[in-house]
């Protein structure tokens, strides 16, 4: 009797089985069945299969004009399958566009849905995976024969890299993460914050959005990798629009990210930042329009981060080195100087925080199941490595854990936490002094300080110009005689990557971290930059397209007489 009681107590105290593992078990079961039995008579069987299931829970509250405009919860799962025929040296993978001239009359008329069940039903999940795997296998066979047929028209490339790296299988399960969301609190907060704009008639539209996202990810491969990871990200986005006196549309925003709900700014801090945003817009309304300019400038840390992200980071993503349609800016440049010798560029997905700021680009495993790795891309100005997925890029034969994607898209090499390190640092005051000295040397009446930027974009395709562009939000011209800073507007920053980054003369001694999301071929992924302010010997500014539209004709209802 005593033994029975002890056994019963032990069973009650035992932890409950982890329901999340049922998803991984179902994936592994269907994976094993496909590897063992999936083959079309007379054709090759798959040599590699990888499954991924992404679970996304989202909470969102949005307010405008002091009221809640949107309040929603969302839960969805999506799945993906990578099915390859051939072998590691040469397989069926590759861009379909490259094979377009070989596409025959056959056309696919139905595509397997990519949704996965959210209620952990193993057979339902296996059924969804079964249909996607069948589709991907048939596509792989078709692509494999088209790819092999290129030998009829083209000589084999002697220096061709392999199709897939060989990586050690990984097994890991994250503990479940809490995902609280105080909906009542945030409904009140978006009302209060968005109501602040009603005190400023010049701001004709604005919004406050609070989001919470929890992502769970299951990865299983035929090599034996079995992973379950979780991550949570909270954010507050404050955005507002006004028009300058000449009709130019002005936009400003604040974005705050945290890995816990409690890590978001306090209500007092949010109000302070919102009022600062309004003050910037009101100052910009009457700021003079600056003429197109070529000359020295200081890029504050966020603007410097955008420069290196667009001009350097994207061009070091591995797949771009072998893309015949790409500019291949740094292909074959390993071991050569590509930046000033005092600059080092690192991408480190293992870095969770910098300077007290949690970094969006942090992760333990990439979307191909490879452990995240700190990667020195440029050391003392010399190119050391590329960002690498499991698509090899010579002379490298292994991934460095940078295969990343948005749910439902094939992973490719992408940035995570891009760090710009400098051996030539000076205090801000000295950096400004050098700016004025350089402007005088060049015979310029003023230098520029780009204190904030709305983001950037770049072109890496060979059929276009190899250039990047960013739009400053807060741009100041600094008089060389007096050092006086004057807010100006109406221009965007443009340049060619190699020219711009090689004209960095010095940096500040205080790097700062900034978070956001980056969009490219594999979708949107969370990223961060950590960079100091940089003094650039030459930057080019061109006029932005002018809207010259009228502000709303009537005053806003809260500003109108009643």
Domain boundaries, position 85: 15-55+76-173
DSSP code of 40? -
DSSP lists the bridge partners of residue 213 as: 58, 233
Choose one of 118, 152, 173: the last residue of a domain: 173
pLDDT tens digits along 55-82: 999 999 999 999 999 999 999 999 999 9
CA-wise closest residue to 259 among 360, 331, 165: 360
Q: Is there a domain that residue 260 lies in?
A: no
What is the pTM for the complete model shown? 0.90
Q: Which residues contact 105 (CB under 8 A, 6 or more apart)?
A: none
How many angstroms separate the CA atoms of 29 and 52, rounded? 14
Choose one of 134, 151, 173: the last residue of a domain: 173
DSSP lists the bridge partners of residue 54 as: 78, 217
Q: Is 104 helix (H, G, I), strand (E, B) or coil?
A: coil
Q: What pLDDT, on the 0 to 100 scale, is given for residue 15? A: 64
Q: Is there a domain that residue 194 lies in?
A: no
pLDDT band at 27 (very low <50, low <70, confident <90, very high): very high
How many angstroms separate the CA atoms of 512 and 518, rounded? 18
pLDDT band at 462 (very low <50, low <70, confident <90, very high): very low
Expressed in angstroms, the distance from the first to the final Cα of the chain is 82
Q: Quick one: residue 401, left, alpha or beta (phi over 0 = left, psi -120 to 50 = alpha)? A: left
pLDDT band at 461 (very low <50, low <70, confident <90, very high): very low
More confident: 543 or 532:
532
DSSP code of 553? S
Share of the chain above pLDDT 70, in %: 89
Mean pLDDT of 1-6: 53
Q: What pLDDT, on the 0 to 100 scale, is given for residue 115? A: 96
CA-wise closest residue to 366 among 319, 323, 416: 416
pLDDT tens digits along 399-440: 999 999 998 899 999 999 999 999 999 999 999 999 999 999
Least confident interval from 144-148, 154-158, 206-210: 154-158
How many angstroms separate the CA atoms of 476 and 439, rounded? 14
| Centroid of chain to Cα 344 | 21
Q: What pLDDT, on the 0 to 100 scale, is given for residue 517? A: 94
Contact between 88 and 58 under an 8 Å Cβ cutoff? The reply is no
pLDDT band at 99 (very low <50, low <70, confident <90, very high): very low
DSSP strands (E only) in 33-165: 46-64, 67-85
Q: Is there a domain that residue 195 lies in?
A: no
DSSP strands (E only) in 160-304: 171-173, 203-221, 226-243, 249-258, 293-299
Q: Is there a domain that residue 21 lies in?
A: yes
pLDDT for residue 100 is more than 80: no
pLDDT band at 148 (very low <50, low <70, confident <90, very high): confident
Q: Is there a domain that residue 46 lies in?
A: yes
Q: Is there a domain that residue 205 lies in?
A: no
DSSP strands (E only) in 259-331: 293-299
Q: Please report which helix (H) or strand (E) contains residue 418, including its range.
A: strand 417-422
Query: For residue 173, with 0-12 CB atoms within 10 Å meaning exposed, 13-18 middle and 19 or more buried, which class applies?
Result: middle
More confident: 447 or 557:
447
Mean pLDDT of 186-199: 96
Helix %, strand %, coil % of the chain (to 5):
25, 35, 40
Q: In Å, what is the CA distance from 265 to each residue of 107, 405, 452?
A: 53, 29, 20
Q: What pLDDT, on the 0 to 100 scale, is given for residue 498? A: 73
pLDDT band at 545 (very low <50, low <70, confident <90, very high): low
pLDDT for residue 9 is more than 80: no
pLDDT for residue 458 is more than 60: no
Q: What pLDDT, on the 0 to 100 scale, is given for residue 549? A: 77
Q: Is there a domain that residue 521 lies in?
A: yes
How many angstroms separate the CA atoms of 478 and 474, rounded? 13
Q: Is there a domain that residue 271 lies in?
A: no
pLDDT for residue 393 is more than 60: yes
Contact between 533 and 507 under an 8 Å Cβ cutoff? The reply is yes
How many angstroms separate the CA atoms of 389 and 366, rounded? 9
Highest mean predicted confidence (pLDDT) among 41-50, 141-150, 541-550: 41-50
Q: What pLDDT, on the 0 to 100 scale, is given for residue 238? A: 97
401 and 538 assigned to the same domain: yes
Least confident interval from 232-241, 271-280, 451-460: 451-460
Contact between 267 and 192 under an 8 Å Cβ cutoff? The reply is yes
Based on the structure, what is the number of domains in the chain? 2
pLDDT band at 492 (very low <50, low <70, confident <90, very high): confident
pLDDT band at 211 (very low <50, low <70, confident <90, very high): very high
Q: What pLDDT, on the 0 to 100 scale, is given for residue 454? A: 78
- Mapping DSSP onto H, E and C, the string for 181-208 reads CCHHHHHHHHHHHHHHHHHCCCEEEEEE
Q: What pLDDT, on the 0 to 100 scale, is given for residue 173? A: 97
Mean pLDDT of the chain: 90
pLDDT band at 373 (very low <50, low <70, confident <90, very high): very high
């Amino acid at each position: 009797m005593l033994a029975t009681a002890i056994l019963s107590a032990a069973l009650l105290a035992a932890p409950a089985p982890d329901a999340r593992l049922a998803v991984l078990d179902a994936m592994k079961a269907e994976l094993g069945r496909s590897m063992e039995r999936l083959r079309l008579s007379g054709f090759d069987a798959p040599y590699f299969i990888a499954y991924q299931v992404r679970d996304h829970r989202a909470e969102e509250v949005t307010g405008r004009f002091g009221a809640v405009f949107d309040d929603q919860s969302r839960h969805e799962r999506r799945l993906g399958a990578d099915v390859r025929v051939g072998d590691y040296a040469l397989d069926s993978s590759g861009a379909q566009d490259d094979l377009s001239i070989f596409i025959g009359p056959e056309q696919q008329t139905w595509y397997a849905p990519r949704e996965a069940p959210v209620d952990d039903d193993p057979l339902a999940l296996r059924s969804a995976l079964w249909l996607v795997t069948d589709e991907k296998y048939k596509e792989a066979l078709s692509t494999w024969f088209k790819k092999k047929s290129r030998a009829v028209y083209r000589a084999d490339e002697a220096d061709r890299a392999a199709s897939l790296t060989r990586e050690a299988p990984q097994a890991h399960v994250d503990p479940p993460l809490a995902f609280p969301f105080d909906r009542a609190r945030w409904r009140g907060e978006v009302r209060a914050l968005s109501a602040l704009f009603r005190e400023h008639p010049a701001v004709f539209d604005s919004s406050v959005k609070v989001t919470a996202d929890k992502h769970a990810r299951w990865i299983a491969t035929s090599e034996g990798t079995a992973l379950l990871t979780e991550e949570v990200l909270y954010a507050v986005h404050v955005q507002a629009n006004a028009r300058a006196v000449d009709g130019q549309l002005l936009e400003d925003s604040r974005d705050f990210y945290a890995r816990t709900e409690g890590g978001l700014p306090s209500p007092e801090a949010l109000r302070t930042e919102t009022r600062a945003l309004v003050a910037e817009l009101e100052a910009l309304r009457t700021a003079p329009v600056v003429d197109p300019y070529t000359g020295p400038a200081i890029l504050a840390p966020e603007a410097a981060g955008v420069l290196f992200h667009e001009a350097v980071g994207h061009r070091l993503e591995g797949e771009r080195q072998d893309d015949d349609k790409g500019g291949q800016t740094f292909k074959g440049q390993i071991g050569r100087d590509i930046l000033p010798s005092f600059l080092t560029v690192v991408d480190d997905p293992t870095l969770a925080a910098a300077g007290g700021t949690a970094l969006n680009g942090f992760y333990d495993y990439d979307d191909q199941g490879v452990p995240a790795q700190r990667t020195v891309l440029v050391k003392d100005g010399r190119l050391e490595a590329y960002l690498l997925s499991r698509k090899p890029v010579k002379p490298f034969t292994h991934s460095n854990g940078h295969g990343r994607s948005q749910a439902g898209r094939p992973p490719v090499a992408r940035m995570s936490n891009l760090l710009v390190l400098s051996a030539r640092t000076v205090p801000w005051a000295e950096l400004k002094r050098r700016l004025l000295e350089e402007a005088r040397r060049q015979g310029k009446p003023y230098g520029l300080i780009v204190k904030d930027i709305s983001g950037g974009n770049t072109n890496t395709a060979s059929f276009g110009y190899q250039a990047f562009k960013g739009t400053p939000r807060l741009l100041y011209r600094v008089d060389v005689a007096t050092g006086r800073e004057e807010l100006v507007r109406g221009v965007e920053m443009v340049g060619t990557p190699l020219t711009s980054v090689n004209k960095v003369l010095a940096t500040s001694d205080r790097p700062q971290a900034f978070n956001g999301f980056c969009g490219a071929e594999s979708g949107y992924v969370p990223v961060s930059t950590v960079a100091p302010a940089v003094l650039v010997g030459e930057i080019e500014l061109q006029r932005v397209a002018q809207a010259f539209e009228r502000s709303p004709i009537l005053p806003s209802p809260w500003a109108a007489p009643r």
